[in-house]
Amino acid sequence: MKILIVDDHAIVRKGLITLLNKEFKVSEIREVDNGIDAISESRSKKWDLIIMDISMPGRNGVEALKQMRADGVKSPILMLSMQPEDQYAIRTLKAGASGFISKECPTQELTLAIHTILKGKKYISPAISEKLATSFTEMKQLAHETLSDREMQVLQLIASGKTISDISVELSLSVNTISTYRARILEKLLLHNNAELTRYALDHKLV
């Protein structure tokens, strides 16, 4: 089995490699630390499994995921993240992920998730499945669910204390472009400034 691991933290990659070699018959594991290299690797070889983080500098995991699916990559892709599961599980599944799991989950759950998606099924945790089932008929779309993936990324960076210039450098986009994203976010969320934006993000556990 050939596996591609995409995460910008070396210690996470090493931990995954140890687990995968113990639990599965792995013939090859390739590590990359950013979305751009992940897209390149997904094009160059057929992978039996791709495990990818969401939050990475530059092109994040969701953007890389969408590009892979647009390129016709059929490999099962498990998104692994510290981001809140109830905010990102459905977002990533809609983008083409085979599953979503928290980095804080027990190793047994990660193993179960991998086995599940290797069988061609989707995986989200039992807790999220139950939450979705019980609230499905009552759910109303929250304002931040209307944000694009890039807008959500900019929102999180602003809420974490980054300036427009900082975000411009991190995402390799112009200051004007980031300012435009900020304006759209404020309009969609009916907010007026960064302080209100940060409070919204904290209240909804987006950071």
Locate CATH 3.40.50.2300 in the chain.
2-135
E-strand ranges in the chain read 2-6, 28-32, 49-53, 77-81, 99-102
Locate CATH 1.10.10.10 in the chain.
143-203
CA distances from 127 to 101, 106, 206 (A): 11, 14, 18
Displacement of CA 9 from its chain's centroid (Å): 14
CB 78 within 8 A of CB 101: yes
CA torsion sign, 54 to 59 to 63 to 66?
negative
Q: What is the pLDDT along the chain (207 residues), one digit of tens a residue?
A: 999 999 999 999 999 999 999 998 889 999 999 999 999 999 999 999 999 999 888 788 999 999 999 999 999 999 998 876 667 788 888 889 999 998 888 999 999 999 999 999 999 887 777 666 655 544 445 788 889 999 999 999 999 999 999 999 999 999 999 999 999 999 999 899 999 999 999 988 888
Give me 163's structure tokens: 């300036």
- Residue 50 corresponds to which amino acid? I
CATH no. for 2-135: 3.40.50.2300
- Name 139's Cβ contacts closer than 8 Å, sequence gap at least 6: none
Read off the pLDDT of residues 87-111 as tens digits, 9 standing for 90 and up: 778 888 888 999 999 888 899 999 9
Give me 12's structure tokens: 């996470």
Place of tokens 């290299």: 37
Specify whether domain 143-203 bears CATH 1.10.10.10. Answer: yes
Q: What is the pLDDT of residue 131?
A: 64
Q: Residue 87 and residue 55: Cα distance in Å, rounded?
A: 14
